[in-house]
Structure 1
C-alpha cells in the first residue's frame, strides 16, 4: 500500500461569521463550526486517499474561545495517522478579528473518516509518514486515541487496548 506524507493532506479553510451563523450572544454557533470543520476534515481525508470519505466519529472537540460575528474562522486540518480503512484528522481553529488585527485560538478536535469504494464499502487507505516533530507526536498519540474511541463504542474490550493501557501504567 502507498505511503503519503501527512503534509500532503494539509487543508486550510476560511469562513466569515455572518448573522445567520450566530447565537443570541453574537457568537458563532458550535454546530455551524462543527459543520465547517467536517468539511475541512473531509477535504483533508480526500486528499490523503483520493476517494470519497465519510465521517465516522468526532472527539475531543473543545471550545476555548468564542468567535464573534464579523470575525473570520480559520480552520487547518491534517491527517495524523491512517489505519486500515480509517484516518484520523486533527483540526485547529482560530478566530481572526480584522478590525482589531489579532488572531486567537478557538477550537481543536479529532475527526475520524472512512474511505469508501465505488460500492460504498470501506476501502484501504495509504499509510501516513509523519515528518515534523508535531506530526510525529500526533501520529504516536493517534493509536491511543483510536483505542479509546473503540473501547467507548463497545468495539474493543478495555483489556485489549494495549497502547492505551501502557499509557496509564508504569513499567
Structure 2
C-alpha cells in the first residue's frame, strides 16, 4: 500500500440531467435524490483513494444553497480532503448548469466520512491525502476542526440513542 496519494487521484465527477421523475412539486430536484448522488460520488472518490471497499461512516452535512431546476444539469465533484488512520473525509461540491444559457452555480456542498475495509470486513489503514491546489489545501488545513466537531456530534448521537433507545410506537412519549 502506498503511504501517500495526491488528492487529485481521488477526484470523481458525476453529471446528470434533472428529469421530471427526479423532481418535487416545485419542479426542482428532490433533496433525497441529490443526497443519493452525493453518497455515490463520494464513495467512488473514497474507493479510488483507498483502493479498498468502503462504508459511509457519516454524512456531516448537506448544505442546500440553491434549488436545482428540472431540465438543468447537475454536476457533482468529489475528492478526499483528509485522512486519519482508516477513515477519509470526502468533500462534494454540487454545481447546477442551465444547459441553454450556460449559467452555472454551486447549489450544495457536503462532507462525508468513509472507512476503508479489508477482506475480513474490518477497518484498514488508508494513504495520507496530499493536497496541491488552493481549494484542496484550504479544505485539508481546516479538516481537523471538522473532525473535532464530527467526533463531538457522534458522541451526542450515541448518548441520544442510549437515552431514548428503541421504543414501541405505542409507548408513551
TM-score by length of 1: 0.87
**C-alpha displacement of 1:25:** 0.6
Structure 1 unmatched ranges of 5 or more: 156-171
Equivalent in the alignment of 1:40: 41
In 1: Cα distance, 2:16 partner to 2:60 partner: 22
Equivalent in the alignment of 2:68: 67
Any idea what SS the aligned residue of 1:42 has? helix
Q: How do residues 2-151 of structure 1 correspond to structure 2 at under 5 angstroms?
A: 2-151=3-152
In 2: Cα distance, 1:152 partner to 1:105 partner: 26
**C-alpha displacement of 1:144:** 1.0
In 1: Cα distance, 2:95 partner to 2:87 partner: 26
Moved over 4 A (4+): none
RMSD across aligned C-alpha pairs, in angstroms?
1.2
**C-alpha displacement of 1:60:** 2.7
Measured against aligned partners, the alpha-carbon deviations of 1:115-153 in whole angstroms (never above 9, x if no partner) come to 111121111101111112221111111111011111111
Measured against aligned partners, the alpha-carbon deviations of 1:73-126 in whole angstroms (never above 9, x if no partner) come to 100001100101100011101111112321121000101111111121111101
In 1: Cα distance, 2:51 partner to 2:115 partner: 12
Any idea what SS the aligned residue of 2:52 has? coil
**Structure with bigger gyration radius:** 2
**Count of residue correspondences:** 155
In 2: Cα distance, 1:97 partner to 1:120 partner: 43
Structure 2 unmatched ranges of 5 or more: 157-173
In 1: Cα distance, 2:67 partner to 2:112 partner: 20
In 1: Cα distance, 2:85 partner to 2:103 partner: 41
In 2: Cα distance, 1:103 partner to 1:12 partner: 15
In 2: Cα distance, 1:79 partner to 1:101 partner: 28
